């Protein structure tokens, strides 16, 4: 045993991964924690997941050991567990990787790493300043800001590295207080099934010009912009149809229930209700089929720390029309679709019209998006980046450890 409570020289790294949210809860931190641990285990790094999300106490999932702990309190975003904290203080670990903070599970892991002198990697998942863009009530936002004042110096000082999903999130981390030399940008990966799908049929093969948007339905998604653009396209004689995939967000995290009804009412007022389809939540093959059947992916959200649906759409071979948030500036650029201003339905419709009227431009954007996704968003590539990152951190703090792959 070495100073870090982990493996001795020549043995694999041990990287416990801590996330308050995990399956069966579907969330960005849950998806990423499992995918990264799976890739690391394949490369010989021991990377169990620790969580207070309900389930069997210790079970394997896709080759990853998952330790679940009963929380003392089961409130939203507040599920502390003393047994989990005790395990963090004593389990073998080369370093800790914590997904998010501003909750007792992740913050407890941050404090445990600091107390033990173990290197710490934190992953933002939008928690640095993302809440500024939500519609949550002022009292809750004030509580967050007060808590930040206490926790910020701990997180920024204890972390060896902070992972951002995009350049925009990296800037948020700098604003939060992380030094630039502690920030690394690693995107979110895309399930390999999206890359293995056949290329979508060329548009104009049927009567409709199919627009697709995917995501939880809440005011932050700004789907109104797409519906207004749809109305303009149809007024210009383009047979556009919009498919909206995703569950409606209920009263949580400041979102407003009834958002789908507001969108339906808007579509009725604009005379395009017959051209808008709400599918509800879709997963697996049903979701992949939606990407495959679409012509263009449209994403006009007001804030996104990454924007997984954009990466999935690009991997599926769709050009993108998106607002400049999350991964959109890096993914779309000026050659994989169009970036459009927030709340600008005319610019959105004009971008879509260009793709519809120019098959050559459409094809160039589609192929560029797909090639960029294949280069940046494969989990195998991302897993190798994490493997190298962990090795570099531990080499700065202790004798060399092995990293296979």
Whose tokens are 């107390």? That residue is: 115
Handedness of CA 107, 112, 114, 118 (dihedral sign): negative
Domains of the chain: which residue ranges?
A: 17-189+378-397, 192-376
Consecutive sets of 10 residues in the chain, 405 residues long: mean pLDDT of each? 43 93 86 95 96 89 95 84 96 96 92 95 86 62 78 93 96 94 96 78 68 94 98 98 91 64 97 98 95 97 94 97 97 96 98 96 96 96 96 79 54
Which pLDDT belongs to residue 7?
45
Angle at 352 between CA 351 and CA 355, to 5 degrees: 90
Which pLDDT belongs to residue 161?
97
Which pLDDT belongs to residue 402?
53
What superfamily in CATH does domain 17-189+378-397 come from? Glycogen Phosphorylase B; (3.40.50.2000)
For the stretch 113-118, contacts whose Cβ atoms lie closer than 8 Å and that sit 24 or more positions apart, written own/partner, are 113/88, 113/158, 114/154, 114/157, 114/158, 115/89, 116/4, 116/5, 116/89, 117/3, 117/4, 118/4, 118/5, 118/6, 118/93, 118/94
Q: Is 52 exposed, middle or buried (0-12, 13-18, 19+ CB in 10 A)?
A: buried
Multiple choice CATH, 192-376, 3.40.50.620, 3.20.20.80, 3.40.50.2000, 3.40.50.2300? 3.40.50.2000
The CA–CA distances, whole Å, from 198 to 18, 120, 309 equal: 36, 41, 18
Answer whether 17-189+378-397 and 192-376 agree in fold: yes
């Amino acid at each position: 045993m070495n100073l870090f409570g982990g493996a001795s020289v020549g043995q694999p790294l041990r990287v416990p991964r801590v996330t308050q949210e995990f399956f069966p809860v579907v969330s960005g931190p849950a998806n990423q924690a499992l995918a990264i641990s799976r890739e690391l285990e394949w490369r010989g790094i021991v990377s169990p997941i620790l969580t207070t999300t309900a389930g069997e106490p210790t079970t394997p999932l896709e080759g990853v050991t998952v330790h679940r702990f009963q929380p003392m309190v089961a409130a939203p975003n507040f599920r502390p567990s003393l047994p989990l904290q005790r395990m963090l203080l004593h389990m073998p670990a080369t370093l800790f990787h914590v997904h998010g903070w501003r909750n007792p599970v992740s913050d407890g892991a941050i404090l445990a790493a600091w107390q033990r002198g173990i290197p710490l990697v934190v992953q933002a998942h939008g928690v640095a300043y993302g809440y500024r863009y939500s519609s949550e009530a002022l009292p809750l936002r004030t509580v967050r800001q007060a808590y930040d004042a206490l926790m910020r110096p701990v997180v920024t000082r204890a972390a060896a590295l902070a992972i951002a999903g995009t350049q925009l999130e990296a800037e948020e981390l700098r604003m939060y207080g992380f030094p630039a030399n502690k920030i690394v940008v690693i995107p979110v990966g895309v399930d390999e099934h999206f890359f293995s799908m056949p290329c979508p049929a060329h548009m104009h093969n049927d009567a409709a010009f199919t627009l697709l948007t995917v995501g939880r339905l809440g005011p932050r998604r700004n789907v109104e912009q797409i519906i207004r653009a749809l109305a303009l396209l149809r007024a210009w004689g383009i047979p556009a149809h919009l498919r909206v995939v995703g569950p409606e967000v209920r009263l949580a995290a400041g979102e407003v229930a009834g958002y789908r009804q507001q969108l339906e009412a808007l579509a009725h007022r604009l005379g395009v209700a017959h051209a808008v389809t709400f599918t509800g939540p879709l997963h697996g093959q049903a979701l992949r089929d939606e990407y495959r059947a679409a012509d263009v992916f449209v994403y006009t959200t007001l804030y996104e720390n990454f924007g997984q649906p954009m990466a999935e759409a690009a991997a599926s071979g769709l050009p993108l029309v998106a607002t400049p948030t999350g991964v959109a500036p890096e993914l779309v650029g000026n050659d994989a679709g169009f970036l459009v201003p927030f709340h600008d339905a005319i610019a959105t419709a004009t971008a879509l019209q260009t793709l519809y009227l120019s098959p050559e431009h459409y094809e160039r954007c589609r192929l560029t998006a797909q090639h960029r996704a294949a280069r940046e968003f494969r989990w195998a590539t991302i897993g190798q980046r994490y493997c190298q990152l962990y090795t570099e951190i531990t080499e700065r703090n202790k004798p060399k450890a092995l990293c296979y792959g």
